[in-house]
Chain A
């Protein structure tokens, strides 16, 4: 198995992503038509039984998430998380650039399932050209009448990684500082402007048209049984082909790097690969024969996350890269909770000390203790995930640390 499997990206570069007409010609909006004819409960059941799990990183069953939305609420919202700020990730941009109408259709399907007529796409501030593309795509769909009475508004973020966290994202749409809320209540019960809100990732929404068109059983039969479907991965770093690929979820990490990615640049050996973006764990060579699905990655102490794959060759300095990553988290911590605000600051401080050759074993012990506290006590995923690169490299690349400490 060395081939891609293109579902979301089947018509990439063959159709104009802004044009609803062109999308309809290749089978678009059939899924939404089907959804409209189904009973609401059957529709949610169909998505549940497809096994579709959130593609943003948390891996929660999408249909299950929708089923928590109270049926009797008058106003509800569908929110698309297009804030992909996880370094090394650009799959949501690719989905929009290649197949934006599928995202709109998916949101409308969700709207039908939860009884919402208003959607918001929260697009990161780094992608003003995607905001433009999406606005044109929405206009095209409205002109063709495919979205029916479902409205979609695009809002642009302004450069804050934490806004990828769903409650921070909601705060930002409301025009506030993007600081996460305490949960519960979860957005499904009290989200945007206090009403029930479903927040899903771009890729999750974009899967829905295909699930409805081809059936839940078809989707459930693709890839890994417990995390079915395809996943778009983005290669970065020292891979030969630093580009995107869509693969079934039981695809092996080694094949992503060596078959699709063309291996390591310059014929060098691989030292490590970081999957899931900058908050992901570093994976050593011996674990490469692991399927990329959510649970298989979890079983080796890693995470699929956003599907970013950062390849590092044998010459790379792991401690230096993790030091850089620790600066990222210090910069992006919103400052609302103490464990993350102070924790990411101290992690960066200790990593810099070790990286500059002034650290000791005591510093490594301290940073491990600190990261355990952050995982347990931080309010949101940012502070809880910031420790993974540090912990995983101290575990798998201890010799690199040993070389730098006094």
Chain B
């Protein structure tokens, strides 16, 4: 696993690039560990509080530990009319967790999201940012089974 300091240094030359650094950290750890946030604040010359303010403003960034696969279910209007409510219930029951939680084996984290820009094939979920199309409650078990 890459060192968080190396990851942050890799983004140092991008002016104002702390969000890029956060993305790079999340690519490695799936969230922004506290010590990495402190280091990013130092490298980009802002206070820890400001860095925390940035990290918690954006819905894609997390300062809490998350699972290997982050499932985000879109609940915007086009997905809503395509049955997102039922899909959410199915997701929660099949994963055995509520929104915001991670399965006990650390495999899945379930989050809600607004539109992911794939409204040609609703309802849409993303798994680690990869969109999965037309996810009905019927095909959900096989969708989830694909992630080992």
- List residues of B (101-138) whose CB comes within 8 Å of A's CBs: 113-122, 126, 129
Q: Mark A264-308, 1 if CB is under 8 A from B, else 0.
A: 000000000010001000000000000000000000000000001
Residues of A at the B interface (CB closer than 8 Å) are: 84-90, 93, 124-128, 153, 155-161, 172-178, 193, 234-238, 242-244, 274, 278, 308, 310, 312, 316, 321, 324-325, 327-328, 331-332, 334
Considering the complex, give the chain A residue whose CB is closest to the CB of B61: A158
B114–A158 contact, CB under 8 A? Answer: no
Contact residues in A for B141 (Cβ distance below 8 Å): none
Q: Does B80 contact A (CB under 8 A)?
A: yes
Considering the complex, give the chain B residue whose CB is closest to the CB of A324: B80
Contact residues in A for B44 (Cβ distance below 8 Å): 175
B118–A175 contact, CB under 8 A? Answer: no
Q: Does B91 contact A (CB under 8 A)?
A: no
Q: Does B67 contact A (CB under 8 A)?
A: no
A159–B59 contact, CB under 8 A? Answer: yes
A176–B54 contact, CB under 8 A? Answer: yes
Q: Which 9 pairs across A and B sit closest by C-beta, in order of nearness? A: A158-B58, A175-B16, A87-B76, A87-B115, A159-B59, A159-B60, A158-B60, A236-B78, A177-B57
Given contacts A175-B17, A321-B81, contact A89 B57 (CB under 8 A): no
Task: Name the contact of A328 in the complex, choosing from B61, B114, B117, B121 (C-beta under 8 A).
Answer: B114
B77–A278 contact, CB under 8 A? Answer: yes
- Give A174 to B16 CA distance when docked, in angstroms: 5
B76–A328 contact, CB under 8 A? Answer: yes
Q: Does B86 contact A (CB under 8 A)?
A: no
B23–A87 contact, CB under 8 A? Answer: no
- Pick from A85, A159, A234 the residue with the most CB of B within 10 Å: A159
Contact residues in B for A88 (Cβ distance below 8 Å): 76-78, 115, 119
- Give A205 to B118 CA distance when docked, in angstroms: 22
Q: Does B148 contact A (CB under 8 A)?
A: no
A234–B119 contact, CB under 8 A? Answer: yes
Q: Mark B16-37, 1 if CB is under 8 A from A, else 0.
A: 1111101100000000000000
Task: Name the contact of A237 in the complex, choosing from B59, B78, B113, B121 (C-beta under 8 A).
Answer: B78
> What's the nearest-Cβ distance from chain B to residue A59, in Å?
21
- Give A126 to B129 CA distance when docked, in angstroms: 7
Contact residues in A for B17 (Cβ distance below 8 Å): 155, 175
Task: Name the contact of B78 in the complex, choosing from A173, A244, A310 (C-beta under 8 A).
Answer: A310
B120–A243 contact, CB under 8 A? Answer: yes
- Give A321 to B79 CA distance when docked, in angstroms: 11
> What's the nearest-Cβ distance from chain A to residue B97, in Å?
20
Contact residues in B for A157 (Cβ distance below 8 Å): 19, 58, 60
Contact residues in A for B60 (Cβ distance below 8 Å): 125-126, 157-159
Contact residues in B for A274 (Cβ distance below 8 Å): 77
A316–B81 contact, CB under 8 A? Answer: yes
Task: Name the contact of A244 in the complex, choosing from B61, B115, B120 (C-beta under 8 A).
Answer: B120
Q: Mark B35-77, 1 if CB is under 8 A from A, else 0.
A: 0000000001010000001100111110000000000000111
In the complex, besides A125-B60, A160-B59, A278-B115, 14 extra interface pairs with C-beta distance below 8 angstroms are: A84-B117, A88-B119, A89-B117, A93-B117, A159-B113, A160-B58, A173-B16, A175-B17, A237-B82, A238-B81, A242-B122, A278-B76, A321-B77, A334-B57
A172–B19 contact, CB under 8 A? Answer: yes
> What's the nearest-Cβ distance from chain B to residue A391, in Å?
16
- Give A158 to B57 CA distance when docked, in angstroms: 9
- Give A126 to B23 CA distance when docked, in angstroms: 12
Can you offer 16 A-B residue contacts whose CB atoms are under 8 A? A87-B76, A87-B78, A88-B76, A89-B119, A126-B116, A155-B17, A156-B19, A158-B59, A160-B58, A160-B59, A193-B16, A237-B82, A274-B77, A312-B81, A321-B77, A328-B114
> What's the nearest-Cβ distance from chain A to residue B109, in Å?
15
- Give A378 to B121 CA distance when docked, in angstroms: 34
A126–B19 contact, CB under 8 A? Answer: no
Contact residues in B for A160 (Cβ distance below 8 Å): 57-59
Task: Name the contact of B20 in the complex, choosing from A85, A156, A234 (C-beta under 8 A).
Answer: A156
A90–B19 contact, CB under 8 A? Answer: no
- Give A234 to B117 CA distance when docked, in angstroms: 10
Given contacts A125-B60, A160-B57, A161-B114, contact A87 B129 (CB under 8 A): no
- Give A238 to B83 CA distance when docked, in angstroms: 12
A242–B114 contact, CB under 8 A? Answer: no
- Give A86 to B77 CA distance when docked, in angstroms: 10
> What's the nearest-Cβ distance from chain B to residue A91, in Å?
9
- Give A173 to B17 CA distance when docked, in angstroms: 7
Contact residues in B for A327 (Cβ distance below 8 Å): 75
B80–A90 contact, CB under 8 A? Answer: no
- Give A261 to B14 CA distance when docked, in angstroms: 44
> What's the nearest-Cβ distance from chain A to residue B58, in Å?
3
- Give A137 to B82 CA distance when docked, in angstroms: 35
- Give A238 to B77 CA distance when docked, in angstroms: 12
- Give A173 to B60 CA distance when docked, in angstroms: 15
Task: Name the contact of A126 in the complex, choosing from B81, B117, B122 (C-beta under 8 A).
Answer: B117
Given contacts A125-B58, A161-B114, A193-B15, contact A324 B78 (CB under 8 A): no
